[in-house]
């Protein structure tokens, strides 16, 4: 496949996203920041950080980690704010989403797929990236029981008797001087590249904490390091890092292996209460994964799940097909992580009778 990258023709394998194609061809800089014009590139791999936004076929601020590369596509580094229109890749503009359903599943990851399969009645699934059985769209609002969805360039509304939020979680990374340099990415971003057959660098360094370092090392054998990073060398991409103890490590890719942060935006829009687990906030939920908002449930990473299997269990429980919380707890502890248990908030506030375990 051939792309025109900043006016230069490059050849890349087929079946890649634009960002992965750039990585495979050594084009890591996808945009320059608005104020300082510093280089930015692929980071999270899931369309949340906007560091991979570029101008694609004349359209500005396209999220290249989610945009499939196509023959003859024109890609240009985004320099500050785009002059062409802004676009977020992923949704066909002609797709129709039902206005009402019995169960609405938002999010197409392991929890969402499990919930979609286990739910009964008129079930609708919505996710931002293409996934079998799901409509493609971005849920962006909640108004008195109705969810607002962006489908392509138009808005739709959907009302559900029951909503299961499977919005997931992702690593926020770890800020240090130079951490925005191209070549530095989250573990999720690195796994997304590997899934497309693209290795994130020739000398990757895994940096973070356990058990996340071990998880990443199982799919990308590379040196691991937990000592804080004090400085990053390289202008257009990372070339080396200096650790807090003075050691210098040559690397062209730093993979940040840190605890995932739940994606709480839709739960908060719906008015769900939160509690602090000791590491991060999650929505308040009970053993059936109800939140404090009637008819709104959570499952998967947004509820503190840390493995795909644990997220799948969440999805089945939220759909009403299972209630085996002990298996959920065992799965998390087997992965080396203390699980988030239902009703962790009761010690600090009165418990309504309907929320008793």
Structure confidence by residue, pLDDT tens digits, 318-351: 999 998 999 999 999 999 998 898 865 444 444 4
- pLDDT higher for 154 or 241? 241
User: Each residue of 213-249: pLDDT tens digit?
Assistant: 999 999 999 999 999 999 999 999 999 999 999 999 9
Q: What is the mean pLDDT of residues 92-115?
A: 88
User: Which domains are seen in the chain, by residue range?
Assistant: 2-79 (3.10.20.440), 100-169+261-355 (3.50.50.60), 173-257 (3.50.50.60)
Alpha-carbon distances, residue 192 vs 17, 47, 89, 331, 352 (angstroms): 10, 12, 17, 24, 43
State the pLDDT at residue 93: 46
State the pTM of this model: 0.86
State the pLDDT at residue 250: 97
Alpha-carbon distances, residue 94 vs 85, 98, 224, 276, 356 (angstroms): 19, 13, 46, 41, 46
């Amino acid at each position: 496949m051939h792309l025109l990258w900043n006016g230069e023709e490059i050849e890349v394998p087929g079946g890649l996203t634009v960002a992965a194609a750039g990585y495979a061809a050594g084009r890591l800089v996808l945009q320059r920041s608005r104020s300082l014009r510093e280089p930015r590139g692929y980071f999270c791999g899931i369309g949340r950080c906007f560091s991979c936004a570029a101008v694609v076929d004349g359209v500005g601020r396209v999220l290249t980690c989610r945009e499939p590369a196509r023959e003859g596509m024109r890609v240009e580094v985004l320099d500050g704010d785009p002059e062409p229109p802004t676009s977020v890749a992923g949704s066909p503009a002609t797709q129709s989403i039902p206005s009402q359903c019995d169960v609405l599943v938002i999010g197409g990851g392991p929890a969402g797929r499990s919930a979609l399969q286990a739910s009964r009645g008129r079930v609708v699934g919505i996710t931002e990236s293409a996934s079998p059985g799901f409509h493609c769209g971005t849920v962006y609002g909640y108004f008195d029981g109705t969810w607002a969805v962006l489908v392509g360039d138009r808005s739709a509304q959907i009302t559900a008797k029951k909503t299961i939020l499977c919005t997931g979680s992702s690593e926020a990374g770890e800020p240090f001087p130079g951490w925005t340099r191209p070549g530095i990415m989250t573990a999720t971003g690195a796994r997304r590249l590997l899934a497309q057959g693209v290795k994130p660098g020739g000398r990757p360094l895994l940096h973070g904490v356990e058990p996340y370092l071990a998880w990443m090392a199982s799919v990308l054998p590379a040196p691991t390091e937990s000592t804080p990073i004090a400085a990053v060398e390289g202008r257009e991409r990372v070339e080396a890092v200096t650790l807090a103890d003075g050691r210098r490590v040559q690397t062209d890719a730093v993979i940040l292996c840190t605890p995932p942060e739940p994606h709480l935006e839709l739960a908060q829009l719906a008015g769900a209460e939160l509690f602090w687990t000791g590491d991060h906030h999650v929505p308040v939920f009970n053993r059936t994964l109800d939140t404090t908002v009637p008819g709104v449930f959570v499952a998967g990473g947004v509820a503190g799940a840390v493995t795909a299997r644990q997220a799948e269990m969440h999805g089945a429980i939220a759909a009403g097909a299972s209630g085996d919380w002990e298996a959920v707890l065992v799965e998390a502890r087997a992965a080396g992580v203390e699980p988030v248990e239902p009703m962790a908030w009761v010690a600090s506030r009165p418990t309504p009778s309907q929320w008793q375990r």
